[in-house]
Amino acid sequence: MTDVNSAANAELIKLNQHFLMLAQKHLVANPITAKFKLGIDEPTATFLSSMSPLDIQRLSESGVCAIQFRFDESSLPHLNKYISGDDLALTQAVLGQGAN
């Protein structure tokens, strides 16, 4: 593995660990809001909440990104509008609503 690949893999592991720990923290503090913000269903929330630190470590090192983006091609115009200052556009992008 090259140095670039090793560094990228190390960053992916760190990203996964941070995301999974943050998800668990938010699911404990406020499950309803956390599920909405993370875009996950009840079985996924239960799975994440039940993970041990060793489980998080093993999944983090799997080489697969644990984060899944909820944006698709139809969301991109809304995201561009949000970046330009239209605060409502982000909600439209997440919900897949509104005119482009």
For the record, the structure tokens of 67 come out as 């984060």
* Residue 19: predicted pLDDT: 95
- Who's near 52: CB < 8 A, 6+ residues apart? none
The kind and range of the H/E element at 54 are helix 53-60
| Residue pLDDT, tens place only, 26-56 | 999 999 999 998 989 999 999 999 999 999 9
| Residue pLDDT, tens place only, 65-92 | 988 887 778 888 888 998 999 888 877 7
* Residue 33: predicted pLDDT: 95
